[in-house]
Structure formats: C-alpha cells, structure tokens
Amino acid sequence: MNTAQGGHPHFTPEDQHLAEEIANVYRVVDPVPATLVERLQFALALESPEFEVLRPQEEDVLPAGVRGGEDSRTITFDSEILTIMISVSARDEHAVRVDGWLAPPGDHLVELRCGAGAHVVRADDQGRFVLDVVPRGLSQLVVRQGLDDPAQATILAVTPSLIL
C-alpha cells in the first residue's frame, strides 16, 4: 500500500476501505464541531501558563419573567485562591450583561475575552464588577492583579471558555 496516497503502511486495500467507511460513519453520526479549532485557539491564547484555572461549580438558569422578563443564569467558578460568581442577563438577541463578584474581594482587573475583543473592568472593594454590554458568544474571564496597566498585571485565574 502506498502511504503517499493516504493509506496506512500495514493496511490491505480491504482494511483501508473498511477504515474509510468507519471514518465516514463518524463524520455523519458524530462530526467534529465546526467551532472546535476556534475554541481551542481561544482557550490557548493566554500569554502565561502561571495561573489558576477556575472550575465551574454550578449553573442556575432563571426563566423568562425573572428580572424584568429577561432570561438570566448564574454561574459559579471556584479554585483554591478565588471564587467568581457571575449573573448573565440577556440585553437583546446580540448582547448580555454580566454582573460578577470575586471572593475574596481585592484590587483585581477582570477581563472578559470574546471574539470581538477584550472588555476590562476593575472590581470594587467588595469584589463586585459589571460588564454592561457584552456580545453573545464564546467568552472567557481572566482575573489579573489590579495594576493600572493591564498588560503588566499578572494573571491570577482564568475560567474555562463559556458561551454567553
């Protein structure tokens, strides 16, 4: 079998045909998500591996009619050093509002990374932060120490990617 034509060096032509048929079944039954590469690149785009990765702990979805008729959900992320709770409320079909709280509170910059760029806010002395208008889609929260220059601030923790 010629491997230059895409075959496996130890496959017979019948083995190669069977492997191609199995691959075709998987392409139909369980295809690779169209956004897989984008999600992986997004998750790996952080500049430093020296931070805590927060684990999602719970998610509560509130039905329409709660908070003025908007759909809303609350997500909690936790690690050894930091807990983040966010409430995500629909603004319209293209945007959401994110209200969040850090525990323990401190002087932190909170960056929400999304396809449209980064939105950075400073948490107040109670650990509260608000991202008023954020586009829906794939996002990730990054918590940095509260320096005036976010580019110089050390990353303390990140969340897994989430869909807003």
Asked if residues 118 and 104 have their Cβ atoms less than 8 Å apart, the reply is no
Three-state DSSP at 152 gives: helix
pLDDT band at 153 (very low <50, low <70, confident <90, very high): confident
Residues 8-58: pLDDT tens digits?
Answer: 677 888 888 888 888 888 788 877 777 666 665 555 555 445 655 666 665
Indicate the SS3 state at residue 21: helix
H runs (alpha helix) in the chain: 13-29, 36-44
